[in-house]
Amino acid sequence: MSSLLFALVVLVAMGLFVHTVYDRVRLLLASRPIDRFDQLAERLKAVLVYAFGQKKFVTGEQPAGWMHFFIFWGFVILGLQIVTMFARAFSEHFYVPGFAPHLLGGPFLVLRDLMEVIVSAAILLALYRWLVSHPPRLFGYRPAETRLAGQSHWEAVVILLFILTIMSGGLLYDGGRLVYLAGNPSLEAERPWEPASAVVGALLTPLGAAWAKGISDVAWWVHNLVVLAFLNLLPRSKHFHILTSIPNVFFRKLEPVGALSLMDLENTETFGTSHIDQFTWKQTLDMYSCTECGRCSSHCPATLSGKPLAPRQLLLNLRDYLYEHQQEMINKRLGKTDGEVGENIVGETLIHDDVLWACTTCRACEEACPVLIEYVDKIVDMRRHLVQEEARFPAELTRTFKAMETQSNPWGLSYEKRAEWAEGLDIPLVAEHPDAEYLYFVGCAGSFDERNKKTTIAFAKLLKKAGVSFAILGPEEPCNGETARRLGNEYLFQSMAQTAIGVFTQYTVKKIIVNCPHCFNTIKNEFPQFDGHYEVIHAAELLSRLVREGKLTLQAQPPQRVTYHDSCYYGRYNDIYDTPREILTKIPGTQLQEMERHKHTGMCCGGGGGWMWMEEPHDKRVNHLRVAQALETQPDTIAVSCPFCMIMLGDGLKAKSDEETVQLLDVVELVGNSTS
């Protein structure tokens, strides 16, 4: 009777689960198509590293990271235990084939007992965080996550109690068996391999065999019913990520992370994302996979500076709206309806304009996300709608776009002044020396900003001193359009990119040196979308090579404490962390002091994503936060490798009245000072 009843319960529970998941799959297929089935070996490697290896957890915030690691692996290992307990409804001594005690079962039983104890301890730690310590990362950062912070978090506690019940149920079930089946050959073969269950059995022994069997039977029912309840709660809750996170990691973006999606301006009917059905199926899978852990928001400079953007809240708002319009999405795919699904989500309805404009596109959120959710592409896609379909953007950007259109630079200065920095330096032009090995692409900041001109001059002098064959385009140098693309003006970006590629083609450029991470990322990772393929070298890489080859000699300098600020577009976009540090440590007298947030966890200067050209509220300035973090190391010098970082951190130092006591220098300038 009990076997039949259990079979009916399983059939009902599995039927409900399959029905819910079936609808979620149909919703996923109703989203826009995208090809993520290439490079299978790389995708499988990502699953091993990030899903099973839990890389983002074990290298992130502790002890929460290891807590999740053990809970994850506990469920992987205890999957066999769950199968075993379900099957024992029909056979009391069932073992998964190959896992009898005299085969692999013995070592597995030891591991099972160990994981049940470890996972229970991890769950108790998690419950302490939810019920006692209340870390902001779990409950929401205000003001951006006021909605999340105001919600009940009962679901998280229920799930944790479910897991704790599954662990304790397993121990009570096996501990009871050790008592009431004592002397049974199969059971006695298990006993030496079950240390934790043996302890539970010892506690139950004084109660007698009948009580031990009753407790074991109740534990069996509770364990299995909770597993089935848990299974049906998953697709209806944030814990859907238990099912979707591995696929989400598998379908990660493998093209350069610094390359935004290419919009086919001639053949598209929409010029940005404004409705929920315009997201791709991978972007929908991102929404399914959010664990709500808050790591993205805890690293977001917009969130931490008090702006209205928190990546987690943005994604949860999209996910909730998606679920509300699930049937409409499915009906549209089936041809039962046409037109856009729901309302325009960009604006007052769901995602306010200010939320989108707050993003610096630094990718700190994506770097922190343990399941590799992609945020920046979604934000830029919605910015594209605002700029190209609504013509709705911060007033300051009107001048920026016009300057880029008319003068090919966001400063709005005459393109004829691009080479004024080079006067009297005898810097060759490509038009005069087309056989030069390298094109030094100076960029707009290095050409027009007075502070960054000093870096440009220092780098050019180093190249000449080392005998590098290079030339510049001078007045012919175009802007690559990076700022326009990040701001959502894809049409302007494509026009500028194609113009730049045309100039490079005219002079048969093959190798390009840059000292701007934004130029580096765009030319290296986005110009290939327009068949512009070049060998792009950043300044620190070239300088390091010249020092190794003996073409530059670094001389001793007075002792100085230097802290290096990572550019987002070198670091998280292109994994360039070590080379600038290597060249700094080669300068005699330099003592490198790392900020608490550095390399992968480094904080943005606040100038990316177009914020160089927008006015930031004085009390919400990211650069002030970053400068404060740098000053904690008590540096003599803050080193940067980006013209935007130079401007933003320079303003931050002035705001703190530290510009007289702390130097702000580009890595190139520090090298130049040590070779003079």
Query: What are the pLDDT digits (tens) for 549-598?
Result: 999 999 988 899 999 999 999 999 999 999 999 999 999 999 999 999 99
- Mean pLDDT score of the chain: 94
pLDDT of 43 reads 97
Pairing of β 590-592 and β 535-538: unpaired
Torsion of CA 139, 140, 145, 147, to 10 degrees: 0
- At 91-146, the pLDDT tens digits run 988 999 999 998 999 999 999 999 999 999 999 999 999 999 999 899 999 999 99
Torsion of CA 138, 142, 147, 151, to 10 degrees: 40
77/96 Cα distance (integer angstroms) = 13
Is the pTM value of this prediction over 0.75? yes
Question: Mean pLDDT throughout 616-640?
Answer: 94
- At 242-287, the pLDDT tens digits run 999 999 999 999 989 999 999 999 888 899 999 999 999 999 999 9
449/115 Cα distance (integer angstroms) = 59
21/357 Cα distance (integer angstroms) = 35
pLDDT bin (cut points 50, 70, 90) of residue 153 is confident
Share of the chain above pLDDT 70, in %: 100
495/229 Cα distance (integer angstroms) = 55
pLDDT over 60 at 1, yes or no: no
Question: Mean pLDDT throughout 400-408?
Answer: 95
274/381 Cα distance (integer angstroms) = 8
Q: Which residues lie below 8 Å from residue 537, measured CB to CB, with a gap of 6+?
A: 438, 511, 512, 513, 514
**Domain 407-546 shares a fold with domain 553-675:** yes
224/88 Cα distance (integer angstroms) = 11
pLDDT of 477 reads 96
Q: Tell me if 125 sits within 8 A of 63, measured CB to CB.
A: yes
587/239 Cα distance (integer angstroms) = 51
Give the HSE-up count for residue 267: Cα atoms under 13 Å, Cβ half-sphere: 3
Q: Architecture of domain 8-38+243-253+273-392 in CATH?
A: Orthogonal Bundle (1.10)
Share of the chain above pLDDT 90, in %: 89
Sign of CA dihedral 235, 237, 242, 246: positive
pLDDT of 167 reads 96
- At 70-83, the pLDDT tens digits run 999 998 999 999 99
Q: Tell me if 363 sits within 8 A of 256, measured CB to CB.
A: no
For the segment(s) 407-546, the CATH number from 3.30.390, 3.40.50, 3.40.190, 3.30.70 is 3.40.50
pLDDT of 245 reads 95
Could you give the 3-state DSSP secondary structure of residue 449? Answer: coil
pLDDT bin (cut points 50, 70, 90) of residue 646 is very high
Chain centroid offset of residue 535 CA: 27
pLDDT of 676 reads 65
Q: Element (H or E) spanning 316, and its range?
A: helix 311-324
**Could you state, in order of their start, the residue ranges of all structural domains in the chain?**
8-38+243-253+273-392, 40-236, 407-546, 553-675
Q: Which residues lie below 8 Å from residue 391, measured CB to CB, with a gap of 6+?
A: none
Per the DSSP assignment, residues forming a β-bridge with 438 are 470
94/84 Cα distance (integer angstroms) = 7
196/591 Cα distance (integer angstroms) = 52
- At 527-558, the pLDDT tens digits run 999 999 999 999 999 999 999 999 999 998 88
- At 311-363, the pLDDT tens digits run 999 999 999 999 999 999 999 999 898 888 999 999 999 999 999 999 999 99
Buried b (16+ CB within 10 A) or exposed e, 552-579: bebeeeeeeebbbbbbbbbbbbbebbeb
As a whole number of Å, the end-to-end CA separation of the chain is 91
E-state strands within 597-646: 637-640
Domain at 553-675: CATH code:
3.40.50
Higher per-residue confidence, 659 vs 405: 405
pLDDT of 31 reads 95
Question: Mean pLDDT throughout 471-498?
Answer: 96
Could you give the 3-state DSSP secondary structure of residue 456? Answer: helix
Q: Tell me if 304 sits within 8 A of 297, measured CB to CB.
A: no
pLDDT of 61 reads 83
Per the DSSP assignment, residues forming a β-bridge with 441 are 514
Question: Mean pLDDT throughout 423-445?
Answer: 95
pLDDT bin (cut points 50, 70, 90) of residue 641 is very high
Could you tell me the two tokens for 16? 């409900």
257/482 Cα distance (integer angstroms) = 15
DSSP letter for 104, please.
Answer: I
Q: Which residues lie below 8 Å from residue 642, measured CB to CB, with a gap of 6+?
A: 516, 517, 518, 567, 569, 570, 605
pLDDT over 60 at 637, yes or no: yes
Q: Which residues lie below 8 Å from residue 294, measured CB to CB, with a gap of 6+?
A: 136, 137, 138, 140, 141, 312
pLDDT bin (cut points 50, 70, 90) of residue 60 is confident
197/647 Cα distance (integer angstroms) = 63
Nearest to 576 by CA among 613, 537, 612, 616: 537
Residue position matching structure tokens 């973006």: 253
- At 355-394, the pLDDT tens digits run 999 999 999 999 999 999 999 999 999 999 999 999 999 9
DSSP letter for 49, please.
Answer: I
pLDDT over 80 at 659, yes or no: no
Q: CA separation (Å) from 375 to 120, 318, 557, 666? A: 33, 12, 43, 30
List, edge to edge, every strand of the sheet that includes 535-538: 470-471, 438-441, 511-514, 535-538
Sign of CA dihedral 23, 76, 290, 147: positive
